Amino acid sequence: MITDYSKLGLKIGLEIHQQLNTKAKLFCECKPLYFKEEPELTFLRRLRPTQSELGQIDPAAYFEFQKGLMLRYETNTTSTCLVEMDEEPPHSLNKEAVEISLTAAIMMNAKPVDEIHIMRKTVIDGSNTTGFQRTCVIAMNGWIKNGDKIVQIQHASLEEDAARKTGKEKNGKIINYRLDRLGIPLIEVATAPVIYSPKEAQEVALILGQILRDTGKAMRGLGTIRQDLNISLTNGALIEIKGVQELDLISVVLEYEIKRQINLIKISEELKKQNLKTNSLTKNFVEVTDIFTKTNCKLIKKSLQKKQKVFAVKLEGFAGYLKRELMPNFRLGSELADRARYWGRVGGIFHTDEMPAYDITTEDINVLKDKVKASNHDAIVFVADSPENAKDALDAVVDRAKEAIIGVPEETRKATLNGLSSYMRPRPGAARMYPETDIPPLLITKNFLNKIKANLPEPAEKKIIRLIKENNINKKLATQILNSDYCTLFEFIVKNNKVNPTTVAVFLTETIKALKRDAIKVEKVSDKQITHIFKGLSEKKLTKEAIEDIFIWFSKNDSDNLIEALTSLELKMYSNKEIINIIDEVIAKNIKNKEELGKKSFRMLMGIIMSKVRGKADPSLISKIIRERINE
Amino acid sequence: MTQKTNSGYQGKVLDIIKNAGCKVGDIILVEKEDRIYEGTLIPRSEYSDNTHIVIKLKNGYNLGIRITLETKIKKIGQGIKPSFTVPPLPKQNPNLPKVVILSTGGTIASRVDYRTGAVRSALSASDLYGVVPELSDIAQVQTEIVFGIYSENITQTHWSELAKRIDEHINQGVDGVVVAHGTDTMAYTAAALSFSLQNLPVPVIIVGAQRSSDRPSSDAAMNLLGAVQIAGKAPFAEVAIAMHQNLSDNIIAINRGVKVRKCHTSRRDTFKPVNTSPLARIVNGKTTMLTKNYSKRDPTKKTVLKPNFSKKVVLVKFYPGFNPKIINYHIENGVKGIIIEGTGLGHVSKYCFETIKTAIENKIVVGLASQCIWGRVNMNVYDTGRDLLKMGVIPLEDMFPETALVKLMWVLGQTNQIEEAKKMLKTNISGEFSQRTLPVEIYKQGDFKDDN
């Protein structure tokens, strides 16, 4: 682990996107809900880069447009209307979303703008049916405190979430997007690049996330909060890493990225020492299909059966560098492969640094070396796909290799679930924005602001004192529940049900955390389902012991019905009559005469009965009945 | 033009801007209470209030700042003037058909200036090629701006002017004409051109867009490409509208000018054929004729230009509680023709009969079309219909009210003789009547077949 980040010139800025749990989407009355079923209607579109963007647009998107890339949008009637389909102008800006985001912004000491102007930010990868994302600044120049340090907030914006990618068709010629997510309100909070270590970044993210949750309107679950990280090193590059979905991953992603950049800088220095120049790499793609006609390599075999070809390119002086590790299990070769997949739509690449492997023999490689005239100092990259895809892939590979000589290329990367990151697209130029003329500007009146200021949520430090006092829980537990996603729900449950607050708090923090570690999809369990469980507990429909099982059942089933869960888990509570019957049966079976039924037998009877009814009967009731029988 | 109309700023705010020595496009610093903003001063919509200025921040966002007595504005730099060099005209392929694109207003193609947020229309041929480069693969394009008005401002005068310009271009030997037009009144213009340009040697295709052309998702480019392709190569020679057939970007429907209507306020597939099927369709770039019954392309034919339209024709919609004095008003105003939009098979309430009789006695041509839009009027089924027929009201078959209106305007532009006018109104001139009513789809919701 690196400890002295200042020597590296490390600077980090955070951008947090949080979905808001509003009644409707940002620009229409559709509910902000996802759907899992087959779409009721799909349609095909193309997005045409508008002219002044040429040269500035996402080059991959333009490239794809020229090749006839199409987008298939999937919709259903509960989640989508003509607005998301770009078949009707947007309705006015959702006031509830404005109110929530202004609340959060004010809590971050940001200054609301006088008049909100909605902008169109051009995005032509297909994730927005219009070809742009609607976004607006709602407040600027705020700050939060992390310990003694003040972290500046550049701006808070409100924007529509994008459609979500669901797949590809026709060899990548059609990309599928689902429109349910499009239009869900997102608040975006951006800090200044004044964070100097991965740990600090994680702390700041925690504070910002806490403020957003304090509004009581933050959506919960995987994908509802997404952190983008902007990171730069003095000798490295400015890298934007998008979509870190878990708070705990922020420091991991940053550590790995720093490592990646340091390793890339090292490689660049070594390559330069060898006197390699970018123009020593040429885009001379050689068809080598005949070397592999009898190969045992399954991947290549499969391609050749589809009448595809194998193309190769020589990377002069690169032998040994492609296997250099940049991050755990991620090599320079992986970087090349990422580019090839992105620009060439291929499944992956082969390179000589990993050979022999995949049933490709040393002899094959020797023939290959001859054919592309490579020496032992050179690496060879080869691809099996359609000639068009294979050449695009190798083209991208050579471009990336050239960048390796120069240093670290600026790019946008995507965080993966294990804390690593992969190439996403080139860094976009300056944001291309123009006004959304379909919606008039929204005036933020003093009255509106005063109303928001008068109703600000309780700040965290006050809330924790109240949580301890009102619920008689310890400080550790109160802190845990406050920092969790479930604080609002916790207060709702204990206020409306006769349940022990400690039981609820422990379950919502420690138990859920443990279940998550056991790969239970805890984010699938809704507030409503959790409320049902504790209501059931207070109404004695279930016992404390059964909570976990019911929760797990809810995570796997869509039903909201507690009785269904209990029945399905065979956890339905015994009625008093049934319990009495069971107790009498056990007594009859185990106790020979009245004399034996004494205080000494209580423990034994209790043990036998509890093993039969655990989770389906209240132990205190059972002990009461046994005592009655003993005393009879 | 004055500064006011240029910038949208007026009154005190304009004074403050002027006193600070600033103008739209300058980089300014605004200090207000505890806030400081830096950005480019940009124009304000004239419909907005008079107390805010709008600036564009460095990151591209716009926001409005309320100007108070304490607000200080300072110019700190010169904005960059947007510069755009029109790309050179690509080499024209002499083997491709010659198509002229006439524009009437609005923007079939445009580009966005992200520094100011302005949307500029691309109207010249080289501009168009720049925005829709694929055009150079399908035609040699020439362009002309006929007018620059919104489609709701188009009148009979414009139809006449447009018909004359089209006739001139055809006489100069183009292989097809494309008219770029706003969609709101596009179908009226299509009907007008269908009557005023007869015996056409080449197609006249009207085209527009339901999503503005500045957005990447605009339907404009695909519609335009379809229209140019049809104008240059299609085997028919009629006036038609070329627009999206469904929600997808893969099919263009070509509908006959007298039988097409705007049926949705915002969808791409707003234009639907009424009481007929489309004339042709382009699927993934390939044109298919959908009927054998069309007038053929034939360069040896000579257009018969009849560009006059009467302005003394009105459309009156009957509805429950309708006041017949409305018809009296028109009679007193000296109209020469009335199209009544009746209910169902072609009816109006008996209490209107007197005024209708008066109209006919005043030598006004009275035609009746149905507000059902789809279907044919039949005034023999009920008494009311028979009474109206007896008075001399002309049933207009399966012609929907808007086409009926345009036709009567055109008829009364050709003749003052009432009997002649009635005869012309009943004669099928450009396919506005069909003899058979076929079970065509009225409006197929979710028609999105996209993999043909």
Is residue A343 helix, strand or coil? helix
Looking up tokens 């808007």 gives: B402
Residues of chain B found within 8 Å of residue A42, distances taken between Cβ atoms: 448, 450
CA distances from B79 to A168, B31, B55, B76, B347 (A): 44, 19, 12, 10, 65
According to DSSP, the residues that pair with B206 across neighbouring strands are: B179, B241
CA distances from A245 to A481, A503, B200 (A): 20, 29, 64
Domain B313-426 matching CATH 3.40.50.40: the answer reads yes
With a CB cutoff of 8 Å and minimum separation 6, the contacts of B250 are A44, B283, B284, B450, B452
Residue A192 banded pLDDT, cuts 50, 70, 90: very high
Chain-chain contact of A87 with B247 (C-beta, under 8 angstroms): yes
Tokens of A298: 């399954």
pLDDT at position A448 is: 95
Chain-chain contact of B61 with A49 (C-beta, under 8 angstroms): no
With a CB cutoff of 8 Å and minimum separation 6, the contacts of A18 are A186, A187, A189, A209, A212, A218, A219, A224, A225
Triad A178, A182, A184: Cα angle to 5°: 135
Residue A203 banded pLDDT, cuts 50, 70, 90: very high
pLDDT at position A53 is: 43
Range B286-295 contact pairs with CB under 8 angstroms and sequence separation of 24 or more: B287/B229, B287/B230, B287/B233, B287/B234, B289/B234, B289/B235, B289/B236, B294/B235, B294/B236, B294/B238, B295/B200, B295/B236, B295/B237, B295/B238
Q: Rounded to whole angstroms, how far apart are CA atoms A555 and A566?
A: 14
pLDDT at position B84 is: 57
Report ipTM for this prediction: 0.90
Chain-chain contact of A132 with B215 (C-beta, under 8 angstroms): yes
Residues of chain A found within 8 Å of residue B48, distances taken between Cβ atoms: 440-441
Our CA-based measurement puts residue A331 at a distance from the nearest CA of chain B, in whole angstroms, of 35
Looking up tokens 């009474």 gives: B387
Tokens of A510: 């420690």
Tokens of A84: 């998301």
DSSP A245-259: --TTHHHHHHHHHHH
Looking up tokens 């608040």 gives: A187
pLDDT tens by residue, A208-244? 998 998 888 998 877 899 999 999 999 899 999 999 9
Q: Which of A82, A115, A434 sits opposite B52 (nearest CB)?
A: A115
Pairing of strands A225-232, B365-370: unpaired
With a CB cutoff of 8 Å and minimum separation 6, the contacts of B327 are B316, B338, B352, B355, B356, B359
Q: Which of B40, B183, B185, B303 is catalytic?
A: B183
Our CA-based measurement puts residue B149 at a distance from the nearest CA of chain A, in whole angstroms, of 19
Q: Which of A116, A131, A431 sits opposite B216 (nearest CB)?
A: A131
Architecture of domain A273-408: 2-Layer Sandwich (3.30)
Chain-chain contact of A82 with B267 (C-beta, under 8 angstroms): yes
Q: What percent of chain B has pLDDT over 70?
A: 89
pLDDT tens by residue, B198-237? 999 999 999 999 998 888 899 999 999 999 999 999 999 9
Domain A576-631 matching CATH 1.20.1630.10: the answer reads no
Closest CA to B56 of B9, B24, B22: B24
Is residue B300 helix, strand or coil? coil
Q: Note the maximum CA span of chain B.
A: 81
Based on the residue annotation, tell me whether B127 is a catalytic residue of this protein: no
Task: Identify the CATH number of the domain defined by range B3-77.
Answer: 2.30.30.520
Q: Which of B184, B249, B387, B447 is catalytic?
A: B184
Would you say the CATH fold of B313-426 matches that of B3-77? Answer: no
Q: Are A394 and A311 in contact (CB under 8 A)?
A: yes
Closest CA to B62 of B34, B84, B43: B43
Residue A54 banded pLDDT, cuts 50, 70, 90: very low
pLDDT at B111 over 80: no
Architecture of domain B98-305: 3-Layer(aba) Sandwich (3.40)
Q: Rounded to whole angstroms, how far apart are CA atoms B102 and B170?
A: 12
Mean pLDDT confidence for A318-343 = 94
Q: What percent of chain A has pLDDT over 90?
A: 62
Average pLDDT, chain B: 89
**Residue ranges covered by each domain of chain B:** 3-77, 98-305, 313-426
Chain-chain contact of B63 with A124 (C-beta, under 8 angstroms): no
Chain-chain contact of B215 with A45 (C-beta, under 8 angstroms): no
Chain-chain contact of A131 with B45 (C-beta, under 8 angstroms): no
**Residue ranges covered by each domain of chain A:** 6-238, 273-408, 458-568, 576-631
Q: Rounded to whole angstroms, how far apart are CA atoms A145 and A149?
A: 6
Q: What share of residues in chain B are helix, strand, coil (percent, to 5)?
A: 25, 25, 50
Chain-chain contact of B35 with A430 (C-beta, under 8 angstroms): no
pLDDT tens by residue, B164-191? 999 999 999 999 999 999 999 999 999 9
Q: Rounded to whole angstroms, how far apart are CA atoms A603 and B395?
A: 99
Q: Rounded to whole angstroms, how far apart are CA atoms A232 and A144?
A: 22
Q: Rounded to whole angstroms, how far apart are CA atoms A390 and A383?
A: 6
pLDDT at A394 over 80: yes
pLDDT tens by residue, A344-385? 889 999 999 998 889 999 999 999 999 999 999 999 999 999
pLDDT at position B374 is: 94
Tokens of A543: 């016992």
Q: Which of A40, A51, A62 to mutate to test the interface with B (most CBs of B within 10 A)?
A: A51
Q: Rounded to whole angstroms, how far apart are CA atoms A2 and A246?
A: 22
Mean pLDDT confidence for A599-613 = 81
Q: Rounded to whole angstroms, how far apart are CA atoms A128 and B216?
A: 10
pLDDT at A392 over 90: yes
Chain-chain contact of B54 with A117 (C-beta, under 8 angstroms): yes
pLDDT at position A584 is: 85
Q: Are B393 and B368 in contact (CB under 8 A)?
A: yes
Cβ count within 10 A of residue A470: 13
Pairing of strands B197-198, B251-256: unpaired
Triad B301, B292, B284: Cα angle to 5°: 100
pLDDT at position B148 is: 81
Chain-chain contact of A115 with B84 (C-beta, under 8 angstroms): no
DSSP code of residue A508: I
pLDDT at position B121 is: 67
Q: Which of B60, B63, B448 sits opposite A41 (nearest CB)?
A: B448
pLDDT at B48 over 80: no
Closest CA to B345 of B365, B318, B327, B324: B318
Residues of chain A found within 8 Å of residue B64, distances taken between Cβ atoms: 113-117, 441, 443
Mean pLDDT confidence for B321-348 = 96
Our CA-based measurement puts residue B273 at a distance from the nearest CA of chain A, in whole angstroms, of 20
Closest CA to A161 of A178, A138, A139: A178
DSSP B141-188: EEEEE-----GGG--HHHHHHHHHHHHHHHHTT-SEEEEE--STTHHH
Based on the residue annotation, tell me whether B407 is a catalytic residue of this protein: no
Q: Which of B47, B249, B266 sits opposite A89 (nearest CB)?
A: B266
Burial of A217-244, coded b for 16+ CB within 10 Å and e otherwise, reads: bbbbbeebbbbbbbbbbeebbebbbbbb
Is residue A351 helix, strand or coil? strand
Tell me which of A30-34, A267-271, A515-519, B77-81 is least confident.
B77-81
Q: Are B238 and B430 in contact (CB under 8 A)?
A: yes
Q: Which of B41, B44, B62, B222 to mutate to test the interface with A (most CBs of A within 10 A)?
A: B62
Sheet holding A115-116, edge to edge: A442-443, A115-116, B62-66, B52-56, B35-42, B27-32, B72-77
Amino acid at B424: M
Residues of chain B found within 8 Å of residue A135, distances taken between Cβ atoms: 61
Q: Rounded to whole angstroms, how far apart are CA atoms B401 and B370?
A: 7
Chain-chain contact of A50 with B246 (C-beta, under 8 angstroms): no
Based on the residue annotation, tell me whether B355 is a catalytic residue of this protein: no
pLDDT at A561 over 90: no
CA B205 to chain centre: 12
Our CA-based measurement puts residue B56 at a distance from the nearest CA of chain A, in whole angstroms, of 10
Across chain B, how many H-helices and E-strands are there?
Answer: 12, 23
pLDDT at position A431 is: 60
Average pLDDT, chain A: 90
Q: Are B38 and B76 in contact (CB under 8 A)?
A: yes
**Which phi-psi region, left, alpha or beta, contains residue A221 (left: φ > 0; alpha: ψ -120 to 50)?**
left
pLDDT tens by residue, A334-347? 999 999 998 888 99
DSSP A20-54: B--SS-SSSS-------SPPSEEEEE--PPPGGGT
pLDDT at position A348 is: 93
Residues of chain B found within 8 Å of residue A89, distances taken between Cβ atoms: 266
pLDDT at B328 over 50: yes
Segment (H or E) for A286: strand A286-287
Is residue B275 helix, strand or coil? coil
Residues of chain A found within 8 Å of residue B244, distances taken between Cβ atoms: none
Would you say the CATH fold of A576-631 matches that of A273-408? Answer: no
pLDDT tens by residue, A422-474? 998 887 766 678 889 889 899 999 999 999 999 998 877 788 899 999 999 99
Amino acid at A628: E
Based on the residue annotation, tell me whether B311 is a catalytic residue of this protein: no
Segment (H or E) for B353: helix B353-361
